């Protein structure tokens, strides 16, 4: 059995697919299987994937007859096919340093109860140019699951995207997927919380993954629609109900994030109304602190 199952869920990323797969095959850690999934692409992706059919690492090469409509359904399909103890979902438009898997595997072996491990990431444009510098010091931090949720996930998702992490296959909880499968932006945030409930988390403060920003990313549009809050409150509710999160862990942080995002993404009046109404249902403290921050900004 391979130690790691690498899943590449692809949809219309023909321009980036070769670099993505080659960056996987070029890993210094070679004990992995490669599962290639195409979600009924229309851009020639399948022809590129076919070029890798006979590579000894490739265990599955599957094309959907129709589009699944959800990245999480492709994640689920890949995990169900996987044989490895660890899963790396390597998004088809990202890529990685050759040392990515090796560095993470070396760290998780030091932490027997680790269920999730991740590195920092470089944010790059369509051509692979760095958009801004990622601070890094090569430190390794280990958290209990509860501390990770409280310190790193309470007010935002500290894992920029799934390509920068690996997780234990036996800790994946398909029975809980109904909680996030419908989400457009915050599903991975809840996905990591569900994992962290089951063990410790390792953070490697070194950027070894490349997260590509380009025209077909859905995140900017989703942010303008306020989904960080409209979906994110479901993640927050779960953390409060199941992970012992207290108001003091999140209220000010969420209010600061709301203040920053409404300016950065120029929330419409309707989006502002929806966010306020959603948060007022169970998290009036966030609305209170947000009001204080707005008053403070007016007085400057």
**What's the pLDDT tens digit per position in 219-267?**
678 899 999 999 999 999 999 999 999 999 999 999 999 999 999 999 9
Contacts of 268 (CB under 8 A, 6+ apart): none
Average pLDDT in the chain? 95
Whether 279 and 286 have beta carbons less than 8 Å apart is answered as yes
In this structure, the strands spanning 95-96 and 4-10 are unpaired
Please indicate whether residue 216 or residue 201 has the higher confidence score (pLDDT). Answer: 201
Q: What average pLDDT does range 92-114 have in this prediction?
A: 97
pTM: 0.95
Mean pLDDT of 186-208: 98
Residue 73 CB partners (closer than 8 Å, separation 6+): 181
Q: Class for domain 4-214, per CATH? A: alpha beta
Report d(CA 7, CA 36) in Å as an integer.
6
Task: Check whether 102 has a pLDDT greater than 80.
Answer: yes
User: Over the stretch 153-181, which tens digit does the pLDDT of each residue have?
Assistant: 999 999 999 999 999 999 999 999 999 99
Domains of the chain, by residue range, sit at 4-214, 221-299
Query: What's the whole-number mean pLDDT along residues 269-275?
Result: 96
Neighbouring residues of 35: CB distance < 8 A, sequence distance ≥ 6: 5, 6, 7, 8, 58, 59, 60, 62, 78, 81, 82
Task: Report which secondary-structure segment, H or E, holds 10.
Answer: strand 4-10
């Amino acid at each position: 059995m391979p130690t790691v199952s690498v899943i590449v869920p692809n949809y219309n990323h023909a321009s980036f697919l070769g670099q993505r797969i080659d960056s996987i095959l070029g890993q210094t850690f070679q004990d992995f299987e490669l599962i290639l999934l195409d979600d009924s692409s229309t851009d020639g992706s399948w022809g590129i994937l076919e070029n890798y059919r006979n590579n000894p690492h490739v265990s599955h090469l599957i094309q959907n007859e129709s589009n699944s409509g959800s990245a999480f359904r492709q994640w689920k399909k890949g995990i169900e096919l996987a044989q490895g103890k660890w899963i790396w979902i390597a998004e088809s438009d990202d890529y990685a340093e050759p040392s990515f898997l090796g560095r993470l595997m070396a760290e998780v072996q030091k932490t027997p109860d680790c269920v999730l491990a991740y590195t920092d990431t470089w944010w790059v444009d369509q051509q692979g140019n760095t958009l801004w510098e990622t601070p890094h010091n090569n430190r390794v931090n280990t958290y209990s699951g509860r501390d990770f949720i409280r310190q790193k996930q309470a007010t935002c998702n500290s894992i920029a995207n799934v390509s920068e992490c690996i997780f234990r296959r036996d800790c994946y909880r398909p029975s809980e997927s109904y909680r996030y499968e419908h989400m457009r932006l915050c599903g991975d945030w809840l996905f990591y919380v569900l994992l962290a409930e089951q063990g410790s988390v390792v953070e490697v403060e070194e950027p070894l993954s490349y997260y590509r920003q380009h025209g077909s990313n859905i995140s900017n549009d989703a942010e303008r629609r306020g989904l960080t809050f409209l979906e994110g409150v479901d993640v927050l509710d779960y953390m409060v109900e199941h992970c012992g999160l207290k108001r003091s862990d999140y209220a000010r942080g969420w209010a600061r994030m709301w203040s920053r995002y409404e300016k950065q993404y120029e929330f419409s009046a309707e989006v502002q109304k929806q966010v306020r109404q959603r948060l007022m249902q169970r998290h009036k403290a966030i609305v209170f602190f947000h009001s204080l921050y707005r008053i403070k900004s007016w007085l400057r």
